Amino acid sequence: MPYLMRKLYVFLKKGFLIDVSYKMSFVMMLFNTLFQVFVFYFIGKIIGASALPYLGSYGGDYFAFVLIGIAFTRYSRTTLNALPDLIREEQMMGTLEAILSTPTRVATIVLDSSVWDFVYATLEVLVCLMAGVFLFGFSFEGANFFGTAVIIVLTITSLIGLGLASAGLTLIIKKGKPIAQLFSMFSDVIAGVYFPLTVLPTSLQQVSAFIPLTYSLDALRLLILRGYTLGQVMPQVVALIAFSILLTPLGLLFVDYSLRKAKEDGSLMQY
């Protein structure tokens, strides 16, 4: 097994063993996911046909619209929160300096360590969608699964730079996660997780154009609910690629800068 693959395997195994040792955590994830699906299903029943003018391009069904939002936004939250969580956890356990003393670059450590979080996020997405299918009749008929997989990958790569920046901030100020959470909540509101962008004021619609999740959810809904091809969502694909190219190098540079600064200040092990 190549050296880098061995490292990835070690980090995956570590994440898996930690999560399976806390069985109640999985039960709570299952409960929270099902509760969310139940709540938005009945909100959709209340809204009914009144949502059709706003959701025509997605098929007109509010429950299907919001189910895609609450399911796939888990990738966004994982990307933004997993990396600072890793840094903070290692700081608290006193193992960060030992990990960073290895020859592996800090960015590689951070990214490899978060792979299990994305596996777990995928499990959450599947639980959410299957709840919609088996409990409330949500259908994947005509969905473009290949296109969906491509957009998921682009969603993660477009946001990984912000996650890296949040991890770097955690190295410096020890509390980078609240900033990531604030951005995550803000983007949920104006990126169209719970309602279409057309109901927002024009000023907020303009701001949403600078958030990767906006393009991700739009593409996912068209691919899954309308069966669009990748060619039909190419503007969203191009936007996500542009975010990936712009933000990822900036995030990597900021992590390297943060590590150097923490070492110079002697604050690497402070928490």
Question: In which band, very low, low, confident or very high, does the pLDDT at 1 lie, cut at 50, 70 and 90?
Answer: very low
List all residues 6 or more positions away from 42 whose beta carbon is below 8 Å from its beta carbon: none
Long-range CB contact pairs, 193-201, < 8 A, 24+: 193/66, 193/69, 193/70, 193/73, 193/217, 194/66, 194/69, 194/70, 195/54, 195/66, 196/54, 196/55, 196/58, 196/65, 198/54, 199/54
For 67-116, write each residue's pLDDT tens digit.
999 999 988 888 888 777 776 666 666 556 656 666 566 666 666 667 77
- 54 assigned to some structural domain: yes
Q: How far apart are the first and last CA of the chain?
A: 36
Closest CA to 160 of 79, 66, 42: 79
This prediction has a pTM of 0.84
- The count of domains in the chain is 1
Tell me the residue type at 158: S
Tell me the residue type at 65: F
Dig out the tokens for 206 from the structure: 């303009």
- Domain ranges, residue 25: 3-265
- 52 assigned to some structural domain: yes
In this structure, of 73-82, 137-146, 170-179, 241-250, the range with the lowest mean pLDDT score is 170-179
Residue 197: count other Cβ atoms within 10 Å of its Cβ: 16
- 270 assigned to some structural domain: no
- 215 assigned to some structural domain: yes
- 247 assigned to some structural domain: yes
In angstroms, how far is CA 6 from the centroid of its own chain? 25
- 160 assigned to some structural domain: yes
Closest CA to 128 of 116, 119, 138, 118: 138
- 271 assigned to some structural domain: no
Dig out the tokens for 269 from the structure: 């092990």
- 227 assigned to some structural domain: yes
- Cα–Cα distance measured from residue 200 to residue 211, given in angstroms and rounded to the nearest whole number: 15
Question: In which band, very low, low, confident or very high, does the pLDDT at 268 lie, cut at 50, 70 and 90?
Answer: low
Identify which has the larger pLDDT, 96 or 226.
Answer: 226
Cα Rg for the chain, rounded, in angstroms? 20
Dig out the tokens for 108 from the structure: 């590689």
- Cα–Cα distance measured from residue 84 to residue 171, given in angstroms and rounded to the nearest whole number: 8
